[in-house]
């Protein structure tokens, strides 16, 4: 049983490069998962913990958001899920004695891997202005200090509240209520940096910011296009679903600049075929596209389908187009005028390859397009994703079994957080419901997204920052700007399970609030509590931690937020009213206080139509969630306003003691959650309504899915430069570094590498294995030229398209300009950074 943490940082001088793998998972993945689990938890604890992952009576994996089937395997986790669980359920501890031994300067000198390897945080800590060390602080003092700081703000918009996708629905709902109770919508979250482009494009075109497929649709698809995505590393359980689709006859096309082992061949360790007989070949076609060429690819597919229809007919679903869409004639004319030569230039693919993929789409009876960050983090990401919708609409592949859009979320509850209100641009419908439920007036002006929040901190307009999970400093672009911006904030607060960079790059004062993780038993109000999460496909289910917490002093995220609400808004026993429904507190048989309806004249008639589907007033839910669609006409940058005169009213102590009360509030605020408690009890799943999928109902202004016309955009790479994408290694989950290797890509013992086409290495005058600096070049909209530098990266010859390169984040986030963002969505352009290689002297 290993309980002593490592003390060494990653030694980049020992990096070793081998041949990339052509197969994913298999026995090596099992052995690696067990190795890390044993190192962090020991054998007995590993068995106890891993058998509960993603089980109906267990806890949701803190890793990816890929859904589970109704029938669960006894080992319902992947290699990287096991790593995530082991990191959280580790026996290593970071208590007051650790902070006494390590000054803040010492901690800043260590890398992200070392910080994360130290173990679970156990006590609240405070770093005073000018102090050299964190010191312990009581929970009551820490929370009172935070409340006092918030009261001293001159304007609520001087506070920023960040959220990562790990936060449960219950904690996230209370968190957004806290923030809006203070009087601001400054709720940036990790969605702003990953799938914001997806939400922007999908809301505009089909009226929902989420995907339209279920796990069964994946199994039943005739054609699956997996674009800009590496499931073998980022969500390996997806490979099992792709394997099942393949066994049912599906064709799979992988579209990516890098060949990824997980989409080439999958050795399923849960089957005899996977262990002993070479597994399953997944991708029938690997389309090695240039970075940023995906919009051109899907325009080419659309043009091929239109040309095939014109020559022989029988390709388009004319009935669907006429009944359910608008804008088709304009779209058809735009693609008629489009140039195959331009498509070839943008994608780096010959016309015959583009037509080959188009022909696969033409012959398909049911097509799904899956994507992730490879498509969402470019300047033209939103037009790219609109083009995916265009292609699917041509053949009626929305609202059909085995067909639809599938943005694959990368974090366990990032979609659920957005559903329950973590959004800086909430809809008017959501805010109206929130006001009625909690008897207050939530602010209407839009708040800061992630990039806007950094700009405001940089400019000295933010005095308070709170992060609910995540690692803001390492996750965000333009690292040096972010670090300097954080230093200008008066107080930074991090609610965390483990140590990370955001605890050592702080405001003038800093507080660490340690919290329970997914694996930890959460006992409040004399009973064990459960929380709920939403997966990538709109299914909500319960999660119950089973392990003894690392410290008896730990509070859950729900408890932390509830206590702050009590300090800020008062802890009276007056419960909120819900539209026409007044609530009065009663006690159930267990003694817990529960809201009880007094009157409810036409509430359910107003909010729900037959069979529990959203009624006519539920446009926001039909759009994916009440918080998903932008509804305010105020400036997005936020406007000055005074604190809320009448704060939200609830029995905060009761909410802390019984999370079912929070779910009752969610049920009354958000249509689609009817019967919430009953539907997630005993391992059941609540499937949220999805208009396009369920009834080909589109919550757009005209009630129709929209064909759009998008002028072709793609990156132009200056001579002597490369276009860099930031990527994860296989021993990594977001900013959490599990180890030193990227097994599938053949990189071992280090992370500071840049993958470059061998011909580009020679043409640029360098050698494979040479150590260089990466210098990004960016011209601002005002014409100013900027450079950023990341030092000491080893050049690795790799099979990338000419002119393209790749390197790991967060090490290369320093190269991504803060103001280089996607049009419409504002997502940082981490997949299209112009760089030059510079020889070190």
* Longest Cα–Cα distance in the chain: 78
Q: What pLDDT score does 5 carry?
A: 56
Segment 689-723, tens digit of pLDDT: 999 999 999 999 999 999 999 999 999 999 999 99
Domain boundary (683, 702, 731) is at 683
Q: How far apart are CA 213 and CA 226, in angstroms?
A: 14
The verdict on 173 and 274 lying in the same domain is no
What is the tens place of the pLDDT at every residue in 747-789?
999 999 999 999 999 999 999 999 999 999 999 989 999 999 9
pLDDT at res. 380 = 98
DSSP calls for 583-648:
EEEEE-TTS-EEEEES--SSHHHHHB-GGG-B-TT-HHHHTTSTTTS----S-TT----PPPSS--
Q: Which residues contact 585 (CB under 8 A, 6 or more apart)?
A: 573, 575, 593, 594, 595, 596, 651, 654
Is 6 among the domain residues?
Answer: no
Residue 398 lies in a domain: yes
Can you name the residues that pair with 465 across neighbouring β-strands?
160, 492
Q: What DSSP string runs through 446-479?
A: ----HHHHHHHHHTT---EEEEESS-HHHHSSSH
CA 6 to chain centre: 29
**Is 126 within a domain?**
yes
Euclidean distance between CA atoms 163 and 416, whole angstroms: 12
Q: What is the pLDDT of residues 523-541, one digit of tens each?
A: 998 999 999 999 889 999 8
User: What is the Cα–Cα distance from 236 to 232, expressed in whole angstroms?
Assistant: 5
Give the pLDDT mean for 159-170: 93
Q: What is the pLDDT of residue 72?
A: 65
Q: Domain check: are 181 and 228 in the same one? A: no
DSSP H or E segment with residue 309: helix 294-312
CATH number at residue 790: 2.40.40.20
pLDDT, one tens digit per residue, over 291-326 is 999 999 999 999 999 999 999 899 999 999 999 999
Scanning the structure block, which residue is given the tokens 């800093």? 510
Q: For every residue of 757-817, which 3-state class applies, written as one string?
A: CHHHHHHCCCCCCCEEEEEEEEECCCCCEEEEEEEEEEEEECCCCCCEEEEECCCCHHHCC
| pLDDT for 146 beyond 80 | yes
Phi, psi of 355 (to 5 degrees): -70, -30
> What is the structure's pLDDT at 76?
60
Asked if the structure places residue 563 within a domain, the reply is yes
Evaluate whether 264 touches 745 at the Cβ level (below 8 Å): no
Distance CA 84, CA 320 (A): 44
As a whole number of angstroms, the distance between CA 299 and CA 389 comes to 11
Task: Tell whether the model's pLDDT for residue 33 goes beyond 80.
Answer: no
pLDDT digit string, tens, across residues 250-286: 999 999 999 998 888 877 766 656 555 578 889 999 9
- Tell me the CB-side half-sphere exposure of residue 197, using CA atoms within 13 A: 29
Answer yes or no: are the C-beta atoms of 217 and 637 closer than 8 Å: no
pLDDT for the residue 602: 25
Mean pLDDT for the stretch of residues 504-512: 98
Distance CA 80, CA 61 (A): 10
Residue 609 confidence (pLDDT): 27
What is the rounded distance in angstroms from the CA atom of residue 48 to the CA atom of residue 101? 33
Provide the number of structural domains found in the chain.
3
739 and 823 belong to one structural domain:
yes
- Across all residues in the chain, what is the average pLDDT? 87
Q: Are 376 and 199 in contact (CB under 8 A)?
A: no
Predicted TM-score (pTM) above 0.85: yes
* Lookup result for tokens 């909410």: 655
Indicate whether 262 and 372 sit together in one domain: yes
pLDDT of 591: 31
Q: What is the percent of the chain with per-residue pLDDT over 90, rounded to a whole number?
A: 71
Crossing angle, helix 294-312 and helix 351-363, to 10 degrees?
A: 60
Question: Region 155-182: what's the mean pLDDT?
Answer: 96
Q: For 90-145, how does the pLDDT look when each residue is reduced to its tens digit (9 = 90+)?
A: 889 999 999 999 999 999 999 999 999 999 999 999 999 999 999 999 999 999 99
Lowest-confidence pick of 300-314, 380-394, 536-550, 556-570: 536-550
Residues 469 and 589 in one domain: yes
Q: Does 100 map to a domain?
A: no
Give tens-digit pLDDT for 397-425. Answer: 999 999 999 999 877 888 999 999 999 99
- State the residue range of the domain holding 468: 90-94+114-186+432-683
SS3 275: helix
- Whether residue 657 sits in one domain with residue 554: yes
Residue 763 lies in a domain: yes
The CATH number for 341's domain is 3.40.228.10
pLDDT at 622 over 50: no
Quick one: which of 367, 425, 399, 372 has its CA closest to 630? Answer: 425
The encoded tokens of residue 696 equal 């080909």
Averaged pLDDT, 354-380: 97
Question: What pLDDT, on the 0 to 100 scale, is given for residue 149?
Answer: 97
Q: Determine the average pLDDT of the residues in 208-214.
A: 96
pLDDT digits (tens, 9 = 90+) for 325-358: 999 999 999 999 999 999 999 999 999 999 999 9
> Between 299 and 10, where is the model more confident?
299
Give CA–CA dist 236/220, Å, rounded.
Answer: 19
pLDDT of residue 612: 30
What confidence score (pLDDT) does residue 274 get? 59
Opening angle at CA 376, ends 370 and 381, nearest 5: 110
CA geometry: angle 664, 667, 671, nearest 5 deg: 170
Counts for the chain of helices (H) and strands (E), in that order: 33, 35
Looking at the fold, whether 443 and 557 belong to one and the same domain comes out as yes
Q: How far apart are CA 325 and CA 236, in angstroms?
A: 35
Pair 454, 393 in one domain: no
pLDDT top residue among 377 and 576: 377
200 plus 225 within the same structural domain: yes
The pLDDT-based confidence of 45 (bands split at 50, 70, 90) is: confident
Q: At what angle do helices 169-182 and 557-569 cross, to 10 degrees?
A: 20
pLDDT of residue 34: 72
Same domain, 522 and 616: yes
**Mean pLDDT, range 193-213, rounded to an integer:** 96
Structure tokens, 363:
């012959």
- Residues 456, 371 share a domain: no
Last residue of a domain, one of 683, 713, 743: 683
Distance CA 629, CA 613 (A): 19
- CA proximity to 40, closest of 550, 719, 589: 550
Considering only 514-518, 709-713, 724-728, 780-784, which range has the smallest mean pLDDT? 780-784
Here the tokens at position 497 are 């399970």
Q: If you average pLDDT over residues 480-506, what whole number do you get? A: 97
Q: Is residue 328 part of a domain?
A: yes
pLDDT at residue number 29: 67
Asked whether the beta carbons of 624 and 208 are under 8 A apart, the reply is yes
Do 626 and 768 sit in the same domain of this protein?
no
205 SS3 class: helix
On whether residue 642 sits in a domain, the answer given is yes
Higher model confidence: residue 289 or residue 234? 289
- Within 471-562, strands assigned E span 491-496, 509-514, 523-524, 527-528, 531-534, 539-543
Q: What is the pLDDT of residue 41?
A: 78
């Amino acid at each position: 049983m290993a309980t002593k943490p490592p003390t060494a940082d990653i030694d980049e001088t020992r990096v070793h490069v081998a041949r990339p793998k052509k197969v994913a998972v298999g026995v090596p993945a099992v052995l690696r998962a067990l190795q890390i689990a044993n190192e962090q938890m020991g054998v007995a604890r590993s068995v106890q913990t891993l058998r509960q992952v993603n089980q109906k009576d267990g806890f949701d994996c803190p890793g990816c958001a890929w859904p589970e089937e109704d029938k669960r395997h006894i080992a319902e986790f992947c290699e990287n899920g096991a790593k995530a669980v082991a990191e959280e359920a580790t026996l290593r501890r970071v208590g007051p004695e650790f902070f006494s031994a390590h000054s803040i300067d010492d901690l800043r000198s260590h890398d992200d891997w070392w910080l994360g390897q130290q173990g679970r945080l156990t006590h609240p800590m405070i770093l005073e202005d000018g102090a050299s060390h964190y010191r312990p602080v009581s929970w009551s003092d820490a929370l009172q200090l935070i409340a006092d700081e918030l009261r001293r703000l001159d304007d609520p918009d001087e506070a920023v509240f960040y959220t990562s996708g790990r936060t449960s629905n219950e904690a996230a709902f209370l968190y957004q209520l806290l923030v809006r109770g203070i009087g601001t919508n400054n709720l940036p979250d990790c969605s702003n940096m990953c799938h914001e482009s997806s939400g922007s494009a999908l809301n505009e075109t089909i009226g929902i910011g989420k995907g339209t497929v279920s796990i069964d649709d994946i199994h039943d698809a005739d054609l699956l296009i997996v674009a800009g995505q590496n499931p073998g590393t980022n969500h390996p359980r997806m490979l099992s679903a792709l394997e099942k689709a393949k066994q049912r006859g599906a064709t799979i096309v992988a579209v990516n600049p890098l060949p990824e082992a997980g989409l080439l061949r999958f050795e399923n360790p849960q089957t005899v075929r996977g262990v002993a007989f070479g597994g399953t070949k997944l991708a029938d076609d690997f389309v090695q596209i240039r970075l940023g060429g995906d919009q051109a690819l899907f325009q080419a597919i659309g043009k091929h389908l239109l040309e095939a229809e014109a020559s022989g007919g029988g390709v388009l679903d004319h009935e669907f187009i006429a009944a359910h869409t608008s804008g088709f004639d304009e779209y058809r004319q735009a693609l008629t005028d489009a140039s195959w030569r331009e498509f070839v230039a943008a994608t780096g693919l010959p016309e015959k390859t583009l037509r080959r993929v188009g022909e696969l789409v033409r012959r398909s009876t049911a097509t799904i397009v899956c994507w992730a960050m490879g498509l969402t983090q470019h300047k033209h990401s939103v037009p790219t994703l609109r083009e995916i919708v265009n292609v699917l609409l041509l053949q009626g592949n929305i609202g059909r079994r085995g067909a639809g859009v599938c943005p694959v979320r990368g974090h366990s509850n990032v979609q659920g957080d957005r559903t329950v209100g973590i959004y800086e641009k909430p809809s008017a419908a959501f805010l109206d419901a929130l006001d009625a439920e909690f008897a207050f007036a939530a602010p209407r002006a839009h708040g800061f997204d992630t990039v806007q929040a950094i700009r405001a901190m940089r400019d000295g307009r933010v005095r308070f920052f709170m992060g609910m999970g995540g690692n803001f400093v390492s996750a965000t672009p333009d690292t040096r700007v972010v670090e300097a911006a954080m230093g200008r904030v008066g107080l930074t607060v991090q609610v965390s399970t483990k140590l990370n960079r955001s605890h050592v790059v702080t405001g003038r004062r800093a507080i660490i609030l340690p919290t329970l993780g997914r694996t930890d038993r959460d006992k409040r109000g004399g009973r064990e509590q459960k929380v709920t999460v939403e997966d990538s496909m709109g299914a909500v289910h319960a999660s119950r931690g089973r392990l003894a917490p690392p410290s008896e002093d730990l509070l859950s995220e729900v408890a932390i937020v509830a206590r702050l609400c009590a300090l800020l808004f008062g802890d009276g026993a007056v419960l909120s009213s819900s539209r026409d429904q007044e609530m009065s507190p009663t006690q159930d048989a267990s003694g817990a206080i529960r809201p009880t309806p007094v009157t409810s004249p036409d509430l359910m008639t107003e909010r729900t139509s037959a069979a529990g589907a959203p009624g006519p007033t539920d446009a926001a839910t039909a759009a994916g969630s009440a918080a998903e669609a932008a509804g305010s006409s105020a400036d997005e940058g936020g406007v000055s306003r005074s604190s809320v005169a009448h704060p939200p009213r609830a029995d905060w102590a009761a909410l802390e003691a019984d999370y079912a009360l929070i779910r009752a509030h969610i049920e009354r605020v958000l249509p689609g959650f009817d019967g919430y408690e009953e539907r997630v009890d005993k391992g059941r799943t609540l499937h949220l309504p999805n208009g396009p999928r369920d009834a080909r109902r589109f919550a757009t202004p005209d009630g129709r899915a929209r064909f759009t016309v998008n002028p072709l955009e793609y990156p132009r790479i200056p001579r002597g430069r490369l276009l860099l994408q930031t990527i994860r290694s296989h021993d990594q989950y977001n900013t959490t570094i599990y180890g030193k290797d990227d097994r599938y890509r053949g990189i071992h013992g280090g992370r500071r590498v840049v993958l470059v086409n061998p011909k580009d290495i020679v043409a640029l005058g360098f050698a494979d294995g040479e150590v260089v600096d990466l210098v990004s070049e960016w011209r601002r909209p005002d014409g100013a030229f900027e450079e950023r530098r990341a030092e000491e990266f080893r050049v690795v010859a790799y099979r990338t398209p000419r002119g393209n390169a790749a390197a790991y984040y967060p090490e290369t986030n320093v190269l991504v300009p803060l103001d280089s963002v996607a049009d419409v969505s504002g997502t940082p352009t981490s997949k299209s950074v112009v760089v030059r290689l510079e020889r070190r002297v």
